[in-house]
Structure 1
Amino acid sequence: MNKPSVRIYLGVFCLALLTACSEDKLPLVCLPESEVNQTIDVSGGEFKFGDNRYYPNEGPVKVTRVADFNIDKTEVTNGQFKSFVDATDYVTAAERGLSDVDFPEIPPEYRVPGSMVFVAPDLDKPSSPATWWQFVSGANWQHPEGPDSSIEGKEAHPVVQITHTDAIAYAQWLGRRLPTEAEWEYASRGGLESASFSWGEEPPNAGKSKANTWQGRFPYNNMNEDGFVGSSPVGCFAANGLGLYDTTGNVWEWTDTAYGPDRKRDYGAEGYDPQQPGVTVKTLKGGSFLCSDNYCQRFRPAARQAQDATLASSHIGFRTAADITVYQ
C-alpha cells in the first residue's frame, strides 16, 4: 500500500490527467424529466475497439464482440441517486471518510469525510496539475465542491463524487450493473465505428457546441461557449446515433473494466496503472466538462483513463447497464 503522501500525490496526478483530459451559445432544449429515467436496448455485434491515432493506451485496435445489452439513456442524475439514498440510507465513501481497516497506514487527519475538487488557478500564480485539485473536507455527492455548495436546483445534473463501489451499489439496487468498457465504447460510437467522435470527425467545439467541454485555454480561461461552466443537466446536447446522451463530456463515467495501460493483454481484476502501482484501478470513459482542445482531448469514444476505484471527484459520475435477458 502506498504511503499517505504518495497516494495523495498519485491521486492528484491522475485527476490532472482526467481534466486534461460559435454563434449558438446555449443548447436549445435539455431533455425533459420524463425522458431522463429511460434505458436503451443495444443490439450487439463486432466493432473496432480502440483507436491507434491518439494516445498509446487506446491501442492497439482489436476487433471485439459484445452481446446485446441495455444501457441508460443518460448519466445517473442527482435526483435519481437521491431516490436510491432515500430508499436505502446508503452512505457514500466521501461521506464516510477512509476506513482505518482499509487504510491503516493513513493518519486519522487524512481519513475525514471529503473528496477531491477542481479549483481553477489564478492567472497570475504559478500553476501545475498538483494545484488544480484539492481535497475538500465535506465534499460529497450532495455538496460536490464542498460544504458551501449544494445540488439544490441541480436534480437533473449528473451525480458526482461517486466511487466505483458507490456506483455499483446504486446499479445493484436497480438490479443492474456498470457497463464494461467495450459495451460503453460500442454504445458511445452510436454506429460510427471508425469516427473520432460520437457524431463524426468535427471537433466538439467547431460551430455549435456538441458537448459540455472546456472552451478556451485550460485551466485558466473557460470561454463558456456551450453555456455551462461546470456540469450541465443531462441531455442538453444532441444524442448519438443510438439515442444516448452525454457520452462525450459533462462527466467522466465509471465502467466495470479494470484498467491496463494498453489493450494488448488482460491486467487482471485489479488492473494496472504505471502511475499508481499497487492500486486497484478501473477504466473511466467519456471525458468531462474539464476536457479541452489544448490539454487532453479525451472526449472521444476510444479515450480512456485510469482511476483509483476508491477515489471520487467533482467530475466523475456513471450510467448503468444490464444484460438484455434481464428484461425479457
Structure 2
Amino acid sequence: MTNDERTCCAASREERPSRDGDDADEDVTAGSTPLSTVPASPDDDRTNGMVRLDGGSFIMGTDSDEGFPADGEAPAREVIVDPIYVDKFAVTNAQFVEFVRETGYTTDAERFGWSFVFEDFLAGSDRDHVLQNVPAAPWWVAVQGADWFHPSGPSSTIVENDLLKHPVVHVSWRDAAAYARWAGKRLPTEAEWEYTARGGRERTRFPWGDELEPDDEHRCNVWQGEFPEHNTGDDGYLGTAPVNAFEANGYGVYNVSGNVWEWCRDWFSPDYHTTDAYDPTNPSGPKDGDARVMRGGSYLCHESWCNRYRLPARSKNTPDSSTGNIGFRCVVDAA
C-alpha cells in the first residue's frame, strides 16, 4: 500500500455501517463558522485562556517530500494573517459540558447513535455494541453509544475516567462550529492554525525543531512502539493527554502536534493553494467541498503509518464525522 492510499488515523462517517435505526437527520443544517468575529480587546471575557498573536507573514507548507503528495502540503509559500486571539488549549470536556448544559446541544455522534472508537480502548462489555470495523483501518470500530460523554463506548464516561481536563473528542466539524458560535468565537482557518502552531518558527517539522524526540525527550503525545500492534506509552499516554501536557510552543500554545486532530474552518483541497483563485492574505480555502481540514495529528500517529503530526501536514474528514481522536480549539479576531 502506498502512502497516498493509506487511511489516515481518523475514520470517516463515509464508512457508515448499514443498520436500521441509524436515525440521524441527513437534512440537518451542516453548520457554519464565520470568517470573522466581533473583535476582542484584552479585557474581553472571551480572551480568558487565550493568547494574542500579532499576525504577519510566515512560510506555510513545505517543499519536503516526506509527506503524502495527495495531501497537498507543498509548496512552501509566504502567507499573511491578521492578528487573532487563540485558545492556549484545545477545548476540554469540562468546557463542552458547560456548552451542552447551557444549550442542550446534541452532537452528531448522539444523533447518529454511534461513533468511531480505537478498538484497543473498548471494554469487554462494549464489544457487543460494535457495528463494524473500518475495512482500510480495522483498528477503528463503529460503536453504538460512543460519543463525547462516553468516549470509549457506552460503559465509559468522561467523569469516571477522569477526563474533564482532556480535550473533548467525538465531536464533528459541525459540533465544533456550534460550540465556537456559542462561545462568540470561530474555528481557525488552516493558515491561522499553522501560523499559531509554528510558534514563531519557520520551515521546521515540529514546534520545537526537526527532531521528534530531541535528547530522547518526549515533546508530544503520539504512538510509541509498533503501530497498530503495540503502544508502549513511553510518552506517558496511551490515549488523550490533558490539554496542558508537555511544553507550550513559542507562542504559549499547547499540544499542536499530536494528542488530538483539530478541525479548521476550511474546506479541504489538495491544490487550491496552487491556483489563481488563491489569495495568500488571510486565505480561507475554497468556497465549498466534501471534507473539512484537520491539522496536528493525534495520539495514534506514528512515522511508520501516519506521519501527519508534522507542522505542515494536512488531513481531512467529512463535516459529520466523529472519532476518539478529533477535537478543536477556537480563535477570536483581535481589535
Query: TM-score, with normalisation over the residues of structure 2?
Result: 0.76
Counterpart AA for 2:327: G
Check conservation: 2:54, 2:82, Cα contact below 8 A.
Answer: yes
Counterpart AA for 2:331: A
Q: 2:320 aligns with which of 288, 303, 310?
A: 310
In 1, the alpha carbon distance for the partners of 2:197 and 2:330 equals 13
SS of 1:48's partner is strand
Deviations 1:97-154 (Å, cap 9, x if unpaired)? 1xxxxxxxxxxxxxxx111112149xxxxx9733121111111000012101111121
1:179 corresponds in structure 2 to 188
Q: 1:270 aligns with which of 260, 283, 288?
A: 288
How many residues of Structure 1 are paired with residues of Structure 2 in the alignment? 270
1:124 corresponds in structure 2 to none
In 1, the alpha carbon distance for the partners of 2:293 and 2:60 equals 14
1:141 aligned onto 2:151 = no
Give 1:237 shift.
0.2
Give 1:269 shift.
2.6
1:17 aligned onto 2:27 = no
Check conservation: 1:69, 1:322, Cα contact below 8 A.
Answer: yes
SS of 1:70's partner is strand
1:255 aligned onto 2:273 = no
Q: Say if 1:72 and 1:82 are closer, same or farther in 2 by CA, change over 3 A.
A: same
In 2, the alpha carbon distance for the partners of 1:145 and 1:37 equals 30
Query: TM-score, with normalisation over the residues of structure 1?
Result: 0.78
In 1, the alpha carbon distance for the partners of 2:145 and 2:6 equals 19
Q: State which drifts further: 302-311 or 259-268.
A: 259-268
Percent of aligned pairs with the same amino acid: 41
Check conservation: 1:120, 1:220, Cα contact below 8 A.
Answer: no
1:292 corresponds in structure 2 to 302
Runs of 4+ in 1 over 4 A off after TM superposition: none
Give 1:194 shift.
1.3
1:322 aligned onto 2:329 = no
Q: 2:223 aligns with which of 214, 228, 242?
A: 214
SS of 1:18's partner is coil
In 2, the alpha carbon distance for the partners of 1:246 and 1:15 equals 24
1:241 corresponds in structure 2 to 250
Check conservation: 1:14, 1:306, Cα contact below 8 A.
Answer: no
Give 1:301 shift.
1.5
2:207 corresponds in structure 1 to 198
In 2, the alpha carbon distance for the partners of 1:18 and 1:202 equals 21
Check conservation: 1:37, 1:73, Cα contact below 8 A.
Answer: no
2:88 corresponds in structure 1 to 73
How much is the aligned-residue C-alpha RMSD, in angstroms? Answer: 2.2
1:158 corresponds in structure 2 to 167
Give 1:270 shift.
2.6
1:94 aligned onto 2:109 = yes
Q: Say if 1:15 and 1:79 are closer, same or farther in 2 by CA, change over 3 A.
A: farther
Give 1:205 shift.
7.2
Q: Say if 1:85 and 1:214 are closer, same or farther in 2 by CA, change over 3 A.
A: same
Counterpart AA for 1:293: E
Q: 2:59 aligns with which of 31, 43, 48?
A: 48
Deviations 1:56-88 (Å, cap 9, x if unpaired)? 220112111000011100000000000000111
Give 1:293 shift.
2.3
Give 1:19 shift.
5.3
